[in-house]
């Protein structure tokens, strides 16, 4: 594809051998109809490409395709118009047809051993046909220079008739939290286009930065475009929070924006700009505090989250927004302007005499209705300019007769699906982007094995499973679902490579959700097209995730004290190779064939292998085996955090993790205000001399170390005698961590062991959340 230098990074692996076993029609998104045929069409130096005369846009599409093919192959295939005499070699013809059934974006490909005919009614259809041709060709088609090894430049014979399920097929990128240069935005758009997305949602402003030049308000970029430093790690990673001390910023000039918009147009991608209102506005207020409800001071946010300082609904604020949106609309010719509207606390409005008086004047019952009024004002003004607004689903909150959003307003549903369905039932057009399915900044695999991400868990198969219009949705509601969008927020994604790792291949799954008829979607078939996708991504220099090929481990504690480990992969045709000596497994390491029994603490590492080649990333787990393995445990007070945590996980042999949100921490269990009091039955009297317990320290979330840990033993489970008591410091702050506390003592005979982590009860004076309820949370307990 022209317009970008395709770099083959060689970052990951060669999947050539793997791909030979995959069927040849590895198009993503899957076409609506594809009929396989025998034979292949070969592109050679004698192939001719023919286009109808008088179709300049189609001529450009064909020229771009042939330019890329000639660059990658070293051939010089010519382009002829229909009136010219062609050579005697194979023929690829573009034919314009007047068929309403194909719509704006539909196309047909009729591929036979000697001819390919591409038909469409509109240029966009021809463009998408070419994207399918790219994907039918070898992945080397994306090289920026001729391949050094021989390449079979051929396409499997077939007949394709294809058009999209949804008119809106979007991919989003947040550039406010972290900024990405124009060169990367163009690469991002290239990948959108290759997978038949037609909309790029460009999130340009937020609390942490304003990224677009507005000539009438230069301080938006001079001041609001910069933050003095950036939070390190997750929001609750450290107490106190740690910052990098490095100023951070950047913005796009209006000339750069025009260049990107024109580039996207050449890829049949419409850009929707987002200017956040009235919340997520600290970058605005840092530059122009007069648009807030107080005198400030304000500063561009240095950490993530939701902030109470928002725009004030004054006339000067509306004048400011109209001025800004006038310049924005001049840059972006598409029909939609996204005005945000999400995560807007009302504290500043509650405390504002002006806002309270305005509510009385407008007969508004609450601040939610005041936001509806705010949105309605912008909506009417944008409509007067011939455009439509898009807003996050919060713009439908606080309905009031005095503050109605027009029926033209489009709702983008992110808080699940219900907000979008409710808006559709009210005759609003809706774009579905529910976070639990298509937020690509979520973790996609085992958090302990993955790079830093926002939190939550959205694996590839969950994204693929999403259906924006389930069959039981009434037809009158379905018609308002314009389409689907995958969203990418960049709080924890600092580099282009980190963005790509989170986006691909999940965006490919999202592309199939948006394009392919629901009855044609097939998860096993999609997974068989992944190897070709990965080869294409590698040829265009994309740092994609191979987490689909990860090995998964489950453990079972046996009554005889062994820990049994089962390994599996979602890719059922792959082998699993593993090691137990701490070394990274190779394709020649032990092959997993049956569960592995452990009788001592062991590190297991495993990787998936296909056709003698490693296809996944090495996964690693440390398993605990001790005298409590396979035994029973009871807690005096039931655990309440995280969700679904229960006492047995404290001796199940798997160490915990504090990665992600506090409620998402894995293999840990905690109690609030009470002591964590665990009793383990060894089933028989035996000698013990040490107990180790992992204790979670996450003081930013009120999870404190206990004030003491005590070990007591008993022969009958009734009368316990203390054998060790170790004081700890619940006021210890710092980075979130699991502290492994070992208590050793003279050997003692017993059947029952009681471990008590004594909760301080309330957060002590002198700590940031003094007086609030305190948690004690434990990880794996081992006994020797």
Distance, CA of 639 to CA of 670 (rounded, Å) = 5
Determine the Cα–Cα distance for residues 72 and 146; give it in Å rounded to an integer: 4
Q: pLDDT tens, 449-499? A: 999 999 999 999 999 999 999 888 899 999 999 999 999 999 999 999 999
Mean pLDDT lowest for which of 143-152, 290-299, 753-762? 143-152
Q: What is the 3-state secondary structure (H, E, C) of 633-650?
A: EEECCCCCECCCCCHHHH
Backbone region of residue 332 per phi and psi (left: phi > 0; alpha: psi in -120 to 50; beta: other values): beta
pLDDT at 86 (0 to 100): 61
Ramachandran angles phi, psi of 103, nearest 5° = 65, -165
Task: Write down the pTM of the prediction.
Answer: 0.94
User: Which whole number is the average pLDDT over 646-650?
Assistant: 93
pLDDT for 21 beyond 60: no
Average of per-residue pLDDT values in the chain: 94
Residue 235 pLDDT level (bands cut at 50, 70, 90):
confident
Domains delineated in the chain: 33-162 (3.30.379.10), 168-539 (3.20.20.80), 550-623 (2.60.40.10), 632-783 (2.60.120.1190)
Closest by CA to 527, choosing from 468, 590, 471, 570, is 570
State yes or no: pLDDT of 652 exceeds 60.
Answer: yes
Per-residue pLDDT averaged across 602-624, rounded? Answer: 97
Q: Which of 74-83, 464-473, 699-708, 743-752 has the lowest mean pLDDT?
A: 74-83
Average pLDDT over residues 251-261: 98
Distance between CA 256 and CA 140 in Å, rounded? 31
pLDDT band at residue 13 using 50, 70 and 90 as cut-offs: very low
| DSSP symbols for 324-388 | HHHHHHHH--SSEEEEE--S---HHHHT-HHHHHHHHHHT--SHHHHHHHHHHHHHHHHHHTT-E
| Contact status, residue 722 vs residue 712, Cβ threshold 8 Å | yes
* 18: CB partners within 8 A, 6+ apart: 531, 610, 611, 613, 615
- Mean pLDDT on 248-253: 98
What number is the average pLDDT over the span 553-574?
96
Q: What Rg value do the Cα atoms of the chain yield, rounded?
A: 30
**Across 360-379, average pLDDT:** 96
User: What is the spatial distance between Cα 563 and Cα 577, in angstroms, rounded to a whole number?
Assistant: 19
Which of 229, 299, 343, 462 does the annotation list as catalytic?
343
User: What percent of the chain is modeled with pLDDT above 70?
Assistant: 96
CA distance 558 to 689: 23
Q: Which tokens sit at 544?
A: 């994609």
Average pLDDT over residues 505-524: 97
What percentage of the chain reaches a pLDDT higher than 90?
91
What is the token pair recorded at 709? Answer: 């840990």
The strand pairing partners of 119, in sequence order, are 95, 108
Asked if 130 contacts 87 with a C-beta cutoff of 8 angstroms, the reply is no
Report which of residues 99 and 471 the model is more confident about: 99
- Check if 343 is active-site: yes
Instruction: Tell me what pLDDT residue 85 has.
Output: 65
Encoded tokens for 225: 């475009």
DSSP string, 498-550: HHHHHHTTHHHHHHHHHHS-GGG--HHHHHHHHHHHHHHHHHTT-----GGG-
pLDDT of residue 472: 85
Encode pLDDT of 659-701 as tens digits.
988 888 999 999 999 999 999 999 999 999 999 999 999 999 9
């Amino acid at each position: 594809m022209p317009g970008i230098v395709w770099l083959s990074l060689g970052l990951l692996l060669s999947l050539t051998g793997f791909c030979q076993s995959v069927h040849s029609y590895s198009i993503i998104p899957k076409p609506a109809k594809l009929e396989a045929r025998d034979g292949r069409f070969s592109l050679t130096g004698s192939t001719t490409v023919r286009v109808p005369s008088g179709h300049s846009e189609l001529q450009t599409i064909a020229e771009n395709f042939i330019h890329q093919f000639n660059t990658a192959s070293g051939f010089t295939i010519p382009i002829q118009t229909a009136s010219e005499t062609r050579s005697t070699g194979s023929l690829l013809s573009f034919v314009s047809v007047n068929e309403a059934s194909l719509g704006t974006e539909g196309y047909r490909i009729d591929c036979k051993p000697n001819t390919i005919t591409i038909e469409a009614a509109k240029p966009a259809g021809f463009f998408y046909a070419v994207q399918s041709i790219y994907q039918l060709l070898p992945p080397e088609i994306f090289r920026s220079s001729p391949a050094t090894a021989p390449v079979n430049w051929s396409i499997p014979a077939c007949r394709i008739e294809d058009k999209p399920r949804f008119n809106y097929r979007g991919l989003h990128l947040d550039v406010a939290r972290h900024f990405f240069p124009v060169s990367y935005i163009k690469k991002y758009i290239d990948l959108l286009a290759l997978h038949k997305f037609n909309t790029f949602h460009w999130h340009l402003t937020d609390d942490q930065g304003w990224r677009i030049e507005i000539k009438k308000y230069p301080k938006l970029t001079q001041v609001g475009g910069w933050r003095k430093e950036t939070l390190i790690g997750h929001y609750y990673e450290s107490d106190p929070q740690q910052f990098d001390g490095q100023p951070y910023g950047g913005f796009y000039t209006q000339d750069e924006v025009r260049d990107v918009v024109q580039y996207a147009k050449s890829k049949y991608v419409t850009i929707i700009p987002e200017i956040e209102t009235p919340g997520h506005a600290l970058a605005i207020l840092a530059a122009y505090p007069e648009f807030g409800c107080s005198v400030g001071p304000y500063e561009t946010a240095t950490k993530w989250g939701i902030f109470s300082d928002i725009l004030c609904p004054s006339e000067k604020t509306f004048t400011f927004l109209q001025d800004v949106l006038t310049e924005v609309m001049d840059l972006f010719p598409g029909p939609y302007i996204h005005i945000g509207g999400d995560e807007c606390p009302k504290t500043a409005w509650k405390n504002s005499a002006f806002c309270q008086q305005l509510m009385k004047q407008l007969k508004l019952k609450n601040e939610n209705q005041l936001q509806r009024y705010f949105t309605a004002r912008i909506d009417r003004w944008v409509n007067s300019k011939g455009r439509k607004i898009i807003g996050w689903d919060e713009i439908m909150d606080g309905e009031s007769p005095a503050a109605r959003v027009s029926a033209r307003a489009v709702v983008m549903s992110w808080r699940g699906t219900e907000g979008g369905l409710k808006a559709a039932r009210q005759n609003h057009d809706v774009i579905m982007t529910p976070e639990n399915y298509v937020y690509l900044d979520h973790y996609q695999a085992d958090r302990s094995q993955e790079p830093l991400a926002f939190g939550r868990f959205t694996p590839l198969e969950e994204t693929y499973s999403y259906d924006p219009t389930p069959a039981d949705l009434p037809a009158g509601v379905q018609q308002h679902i314009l389409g689907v969008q995958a969203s990418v927020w960049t709080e924890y994604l600092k580099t282009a490579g980190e963005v790509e790792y989170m986006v691909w291949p999940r965006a490919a799954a999202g592309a199939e959700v948006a394009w392919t008829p629901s009855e044609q979607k097939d998860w096993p078939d999609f997974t068989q097209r992944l190897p070709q996708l990965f080869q294409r991504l590698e040829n265009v220099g994309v740092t994609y995730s191979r987490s689909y090929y990860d090995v998964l481990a489950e453990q079972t504690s046996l009554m005889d004290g062994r820990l049994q480990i089962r390994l599996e992969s979602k890719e059922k045709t792959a082998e699993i190779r593993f090691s137990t000596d701490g070394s990274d497994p190779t394709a020649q390491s032990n092959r997993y064939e049956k569960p592995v029994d452990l009788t001592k603490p062991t590190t297991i590492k495993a990787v998936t292998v296909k056709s003698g080649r490693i296809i996944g990333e090495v996964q690693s787990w440390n398993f605990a085996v001790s005298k409590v393995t396979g035994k029973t445990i009871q807690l005096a007070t039931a655990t309440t955090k995280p969700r679904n945590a229960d006492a047995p996980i404290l001796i199940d042999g798997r160490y915990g993790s504090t990665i992600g949100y506090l409620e998402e921490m894995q293999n840990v269990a905690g109690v609030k205000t009470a002591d964590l009091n665990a009793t383990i039955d060894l089933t028989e009297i035996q000698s013990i001399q040490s107990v180790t317990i992992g204790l979670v320290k996450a003081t930013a979330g009120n999870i404190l170390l206990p004030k003491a840990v005590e070990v007591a033993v008993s022969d009958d489970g009734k009368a316990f005698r203390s054998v060790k008591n170790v004081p700890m410091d619940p006021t210890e702050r710092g980075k979130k961590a699991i502290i492994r506390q070992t208590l050793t003592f003279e050997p003692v005979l017993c059947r029952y062991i009681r471990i008590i982590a004594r909760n301080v009860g309330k957060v002590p004076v002198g700590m940031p959340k003094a007086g609030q309820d305190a948690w004690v949370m434990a990880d794996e307990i081992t006994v020797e």
